[in-house]
């Protein structure tokens, strides 16, 4: 089968197209049982609410099935839990033992992974790693003690079911019953991306043509603009550099608003999810990035946000205008709105679309929706790390490096690459990676807004394990865009062997990104204690985004016996091979 890319000139404006297509009613949930309706309607006005029912306690019954939805004007089937998209929000209490009985009514196997939750590996929910999966017609019982508090989430780890709607929020109240973060209102804001296409069709298109969904490709207009700004010679050198690399400077996201509709709590931009408040109240917003393949840049025009928790861990409060939320990450912010209405604006990293909602004093109010920021080109720093210069000097250095078809810096000896990185699955290698954490990332640099960076995130509590690491493990995040293969150390999952941690050892993990895309790396079952370039502890994380040509490190205490998954949380990257098994024994 062949796929023809539509001519972008004959497409309507993508952001406008998605906004118009988004139904005012959002996704439809049909045939709900009286129990489901009662659970949804029973929430008092001033508690944590979203577009999903809230279930609390210690015993839960889930049914995974298909449900009809309509986000774009074309009916489709979604993968849901108890008929809800997003799935029900679970509210647990630290110290309790919870039991979740999951019945599979699909025609294919399914699973649930409890993202960021520390638990026995048999309960982690990764088919082929921690259990066999849940076969059609069967019921699997998850049971574990809740050992933490904060904002987390859950999702399927089977096929592309996360893309088709199987995800939900988890809120865990502290053991002592009083949250350190004081708020008058408390809302989940779950961000996600939806496509009417079969995800397998999307994946097939990417394998055939990796830039199929990229309509931000460079044009002759871009060349003349560069020529006017930097001169014809430099503009030609810049274009030649990218052509030799066989890479695109606009390769910010694999999948765009050409097929994606971006959702906030399961609502399209036109549906306008709304959270109510009274002026002067402290409102807690629990942002959860369930984007299958999307980074969201979040802001509330006219309203400062104080970030108080990241990945379920309380941090030293930091006030910002904007933050980037990668797949798998959670960010809790507190705001104090005083006007009648504010827009919650979450634009995709490639600037082709957005999710949006409203904070308002009464239902039906709206605030202005800002225009999308213009997309930015990747820079030589995103390709080369610290070796990148500025102007023609940087491009000359790049041209020299490209003569042998890789990204190897001549005379550079700062990085060792595994032999497996020199193969068909790797199209670039970075020898001089940057180690700074104060870069907000492409599209957020110098935008005249105060943007959160990893350097701003400091956990309130230091790690309990104060030991120095006994050894280092370095892994390289690798890929080949033309082949649309993604890997670790040049080896796709299936070609690699497990990584072994010794039980209870303290070790340092170094992740080195040899690609031009940002990868949110999620280690199951154990915390990642992120450190800065000087080795100082920064924050406890369960998902760490590694920017292009960046090298980050974190410490891990291997206190969780068993078999665990470790992968990029861009779902199509994981499926294409950026996945490893970790064995703790």
- Report the pLDDT value the prediction gives residue 218, as an integer from 0 to 100: 55
Q: Examine residue 86 and say whether the peptide bond preceding it is cis (omega within 30 degrees of 0).
A: yes
What's the total number of domains in the chain? 2
Strands of 218-361 (E only): list them: 260-264, 273-276, 283-289, 296-299, 305-310, 313-320, 322-325, 330-335, 341-348, 354-360
Whichever domain contains 585, its CATH number is: 2.60.40.420
Cβ within 8 Å of residue 342, ≥6 positions away: 300, 301, 302, 303, 335, 358, 359, 360, 367
- Report the pLDDT value the prediction gives residue 274, as an integer from 0 to 100: 96
The answer to whether 168 and 153 have CB atoms below 8 angstroms apart is yes
Question: Residue 421's closest CA among 485, 378, 473, 472?
Answer: 485
571 SS3 class:
helix
How far apart CA 562 and CA 121 sit, in angstroms, is 6
Share of the chain above pLDDT 90, in %: 73
How far apart CA 580 and CA 498 sit, in angstroms, is 6
**What's the pLDDT band for 292 if we cut at 50, 70, 90?**
very high
Q: CA of 442: how far to CAs of 157, 343, 516, 548, 551, in Å?
A: 29, 23, 11, 9, 16
Q: Is the pLDDT of residue 314 over 50?
A: yes
534 lies in some domain: yes
Q: Is the pLDDT of residue 162 over 80?
A: yes
| Higher pLDDT among residues 316 and 405, named by residue | 316
What does the pLDDT look like over 32-57, one tens digit per residue? Answer: 433 333 233 333 333 343 579 999 99
481 lies in some domain: yes
| Tokens (6 digits) for 319 | 């006030």
How far apart CA 567 and CA 519 sit, in angstroms, is 9
Q: Is the pLDDT of residue 477 over 70?
A: yes
- Report the pLDDT value the prediction gives residue 31, as an integer from 0 to 100: 38
266 lies in some domain: no
Residue with tokens 């350190």: 180
How far apart CA 342 and CA 369 sit, in angstroms, is 9
Residue with tokens 């990868």: 519
What does the pLDDT look like over 170-201, one tens digit per residue? Answer: 999 999 878 899 999 999 999 999 999 999 99
* Choice among 124-133, 239-248, 479-488, 553-562 with the minimum mean pLDDT: 239-248
Q: Is the pLDDT of residue 257 over 70?
A: yes
**What's the pLDDT band for 387 if we cut at 50, 70, 90?**
low
| Longest Cα–Cα distance in the chain | 70
- Report the pLDDT value the prediction gives residue 234, as an integer from 0 to 100: 66
- Report the pLDDT value the prediction gives residue 239, as an integer from 0 to 100: 59
6 SS3 class:
coil
Strands of 146-268 (E only): list them: 150-155, 167-173, 185-195, 260-264
343 lies in some domain: no
300 lies in some domain: no
304 lies in some domain: no
Within a 10 A sphere around the Cβ of 421, how many other Cβ atoms?
20
Q: Provide the residue range defining the domain that includes 509.
A: 395-441+462-585
249 lies in some domain: no
Quick one: residue 246, left, alpha or beta (phi over 0 = left, psi -120 to 50 = alpha)? left
Tell me which of 182, 208, 237 is where a domain ends: 182
- Report the pLDDT value the prediction gives residue 20, as an integer from 0 to 100: 40
Tell me which of 182, 217, 236 is where a domain ends: 182
56 lies in some domain: yes
Phi first, then psi: give them for residue 47, nearest 5 degrees.
Answer: -105, 175
What does the pLDDT look like over 54-85, one tens digit per residue? Answer: 999 999 999 999 999 999 999 999 999 999 99
Mean residue pLDDT across the chain? 85
Tell me which of 166, 182, 198 is where a domain ends: 182
Question: Residue 454's closest CA among 476, 478, 437?
Answer: 437
């Amino acid at each position: 089968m062949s796929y023809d890319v539509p001519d972008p000139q004959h497409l309507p404006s993508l952001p406008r197209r998605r906004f118009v297509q988004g139904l005012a009613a959002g996704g439809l949930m049909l045939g709900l049982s009286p129990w489901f309706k009662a659970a949804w309607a029973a929430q008092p006005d001033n508690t944590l609410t979203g577009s999903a029912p809230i279930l609390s306690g210690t015993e839960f019954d889930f049914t995974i099935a298909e449900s009809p939805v309509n986000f774009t004007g074309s009916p489709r089937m979604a993968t849901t839990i108890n008929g809800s998209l997003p799935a029900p929000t679970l509210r647990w209490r630290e110290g309790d033992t919870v039991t979740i009985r999951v019945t599979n009514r699909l025609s294919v196997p399914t699973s649930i992974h409890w993202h960021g939750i520390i638990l026995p590996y048999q309960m982690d929910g990764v088919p082929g790693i921690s259990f066999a999966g849940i076969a059609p017609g069967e019921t699997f019982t998850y049971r574990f003690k809740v050992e933490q508090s904060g904002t987390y989430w859950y999702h399927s780890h089977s096929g592309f079911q996360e893309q088709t709607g199987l995800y939900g929020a988890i809120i865990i109240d502290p053991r002592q019953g009083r949250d350190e973060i004081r708020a008058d209102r408390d809302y989940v804001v779950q961000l996600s991306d939806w496509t009417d296409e079969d995800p397998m069709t999307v994946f097939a298109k990417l394998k055939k043509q990796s830039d199929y969904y990229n309509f931000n490709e460079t044009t002759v207009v871009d060349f003349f603009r560069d020529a006017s700004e930097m001169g014809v010679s430099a503009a030609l050198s810049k274009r030649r550099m990218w052509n030799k690399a066989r890479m695109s400077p606009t390769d910010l996201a694999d999948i765009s608003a050409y097929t994606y509709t971006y959702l906030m709590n399961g609502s399209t931009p036109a549906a306008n999810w709304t959270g109510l408040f009274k002026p002067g109240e402290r409102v807690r917003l629990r942002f959860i990035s369930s984007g299958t393949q999307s980074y969201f840049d979040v802001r509330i025009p006219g309203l400062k946000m104080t970030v108080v928790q990241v990945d379920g861990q309380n941090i030293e409060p930091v006030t910002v205008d904007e933050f980037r939320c990668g797949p798998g990450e959670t960010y809790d912010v507190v705001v104090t709105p005083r006007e009648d209405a504010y827009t919650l604006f979450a634009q995709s990293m490639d600037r082709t679309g957005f999710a949006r909602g409203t904070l308002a004093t009464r239902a039906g109010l709206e605030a202005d929706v800002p225009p999308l920021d213009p997309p930015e080109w990747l820079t030589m720093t995103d390709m080369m790390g610290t070796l990148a210069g500025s102007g023609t000097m940087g491009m000359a250095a790049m041209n020299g490096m490209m003569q042998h078809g890789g990204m190897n810096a001549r005379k550079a000896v700062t990085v060792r690459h595994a032999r497996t990185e020199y193969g068909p699955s790797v199209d670039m290698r970075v020898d001089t990676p940057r180690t700074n954490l104060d870069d907000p990332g492409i599209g957020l640099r110098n935008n005249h807004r105060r943007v959160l960076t990893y350097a701003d995130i400091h956990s309130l509590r230091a790690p309990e394990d104060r030991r120095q690491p006994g050894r280092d493990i370095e892994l390289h995040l690798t890929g080949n865009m033309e082949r649309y293969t993604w890997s670790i150390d040049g080896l796709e999952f299936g070609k690699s062997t497990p990584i072994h941690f010794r039980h209870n050892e303290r070790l340092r993990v170094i992740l080195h990104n040899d690609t031009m895309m940002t990868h949110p790396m999620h280690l199951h079952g154990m915390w990642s204690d992120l450190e800065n370039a000087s080795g100082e502890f920064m924050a406890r994380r369960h998902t760490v985004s590694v920017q292009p040509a960046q090298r980050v490190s974190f410490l891990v205490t291997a206190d969780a016996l068993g078999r665990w998954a470790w992968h990029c949380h861009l779902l199509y990257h994981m499926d294409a091979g950026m996945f490893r098994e970790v064995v703790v024994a």
